[in-house]
Structure 1
Amino acid sequence: MRKFLLASTALGAFALAQPAQAQVALGDTGLTATVTGTAASDYLFRGISQTRSRFATQLNAEVAHSSGFYIGGFLSNVRFLGTDARQEVDLFGGYRFTALDFNFDVGGIWYTYPGYDRAPGQFGLNYAEAQLKVSREVGPVNLLGQFNYSPNFFGSSGDGYYLEGGADWKTGIWDLTLGGRIGHQWIQRNVRFGTPDYAWWSVAISREFAIEGIGTISASVGYYDTSISRGDCAGRQDVCNARALGSISFKF
């Protein structure tokens, strides 16, 4: 389940520990390529671990045009209780533009889990979401908002609605950025998804370290939690509880 994000994605920062991005111009085509590599202590999607509290390695790649249109993909390891799904591969695309001093990102994401062998009685995992992101910089603070809708959410759980807000503050102290997020997920068929409708929140801090002639390393650490009790978490797992998340990203 990318953020991702997407970011998840990478724009929208600390929901996935704010990975860094690098852009490379592709000749005179107006196209730029962006590649992000991340290693993290966990893979959290909207506050819930996708790796059952295990280490995650991720790759995000994007090609964007100067007109604002973009396409890309995301890859991560995953581990879900009761399934043999081990990879997540997402495809995404959309259009970014600025209006009235606000930055908009309108697009869609197709989440897939190749290699998942759907056993009799199990539900499908693949799903699609429409996404709208809005941001605005006010001095050293970047304000962020996001809305997602899926007509058939993860696990064939029906309509899924997601709303998120947050802010990133460039503190001016040791080049640190402090970010916070709060979101809420609504799910039509909670039994199939495995949790009730829930809220999640996070606070994280990050810093970039430039390496001349090579690239930039971005390090982040944060605290994440949800409103889901252990008894209401799918299979009574510990994937919904409070935790710290650390990550290192490399842009090149």
Structure 2
Amino acid sequence: MMKKIAAVVAAASSIGFASLAHAEAFDTAVGEVDVSMTATLATDYIWRGQSQTDGAGAVQGSLDIAHESGLYIGAWASNVDGEDFGGSSVEFDYYTGFGSSITDDISYDLQWATYTYPGNSSIDVQEVIGSLGLYGFTVGAKYAYDPSSQLYTFIDYGFDLPYGLGLGLHYGVSDTKDPLDGVGGDEKYSDWAVSIGKTVLGLDLALMYSDTDLGDDCAYSDSDSCDSALTFSASKSF
């Protein structure tokens, strides 16, 4: 049976806690293909420890298509705060990649992603991503190369708890070398998060605490976007 690929939230480095998407499998002339969709309501959209909605709620969705070979493509969208994104109030991400398991406990994923902001294409970002899963840990790097230059390295760890709960830990480091005008500054900072999640009545519920060491050096116009945050989300996969 083909391993179902989780919905890839390309813009989010904080650990989401949606479980593997409930994909529907189709037999085609080129092999088995899984198709999944996920809808999410969240009290905030946290990206690398920073709010993208100025602390407001977020409506998000994804569509993923994965081939049994490990190839996949997908799209993801969320509202964002227009003041911080040059007037654009929505983010659309598109990505493609290849992921596979080496053993039951070791896997890898290689991906290319583009983050787009309709109405302000000057801040669209291209990024390459590589990650390795090892016995519950995930270590990886994301390199944005156009139009800005930023390296993001991260490590995640997730494990099961009693009563159907899951716990996740995340730590990441952003190192921006060539910031976008009006969006960010030359900075190197860390972010971290702790999440707990559970599936209830078909909904993937998650509660996440996140923070950074930015303090008042926030990249966005509202420094509150970099404050610690407690975020609740509910996701449904189709």
2:113–2:128 CA contact under 8 A, matched in 1: yes
Q: 2:194 aligns with which of 189, 203, 206?
A: 203
Residue type of the alignment partner of 1:204: S
Deviations along 1:133-185, one digit per CA (max 9) or x if unpaired, are 21133xxxx21112111113xxx4x31101000101101x2111111100000
Residue pairs, 1:1-252, within 5 angstroms: 5-7=8-10, 15-20=14-19, 21-28=21-28, 29-81=31-83, 83-99=86-102, 101-116=105-120, 124-137=122-135, 142-152=136-146, 156=147, 158-171=148-161, 173-190=162-179, 192=181, 193-195=183-185, 196-209=187-200, 211=201, 216-252=202-238
Distance 2:217 2:130 in 1: 33
Identity, in percent, stands at: 24
The verdict on how the C-alpha distance between 1:191 and 1:70 changes in structure 2, with shifts beyond 3 A counting, is closer
Separation of aligned partners in 2, 1:180 and 1:114: 33
Q: 1:243 to 1:58 in 2, by over 3 A?
A: same
The residue identity in structure 2 corresponding to 1:106 is: L
RMSD of aligned Cα (Å):
2.0
- Bigger relative contact order (CA 8 A; separation at least 6): 2
Following superposition, the deviation at residue 81 of structure 1 comes to 2.7
CA shift, 1:47, in A, is: 0.7
Aligned residue pair count: 225
Tell me how far apart the structure 2 counterparts of residues 244 and 167 of structure 1 sit (CA, whole Å): 19
TM-score (ref. length: structure 1): 0.82
User: How far apart, in 1, do the equivalents of 2:143 and 2:52 lie?
Assistant: 20
Q: Structure 1 pair 99/16, CA: closer, same or farther in 2 (3 Å)?
A: closer
Secondary structure of the 1:30 match is strand
CA contact (8 A) 1:168 1:180 kept: yes
Secondary structure of the equivalent of 2:164?
A: coil
How far off its partner does 1:230 sit? Answer: 2.1
Conserved? CA contact 1:190–1:197, under 8 Å: no
Distance 1:190 1:150 in 2: 10
Structure-1 separation of matches of 2:167 and 2:35 = 27
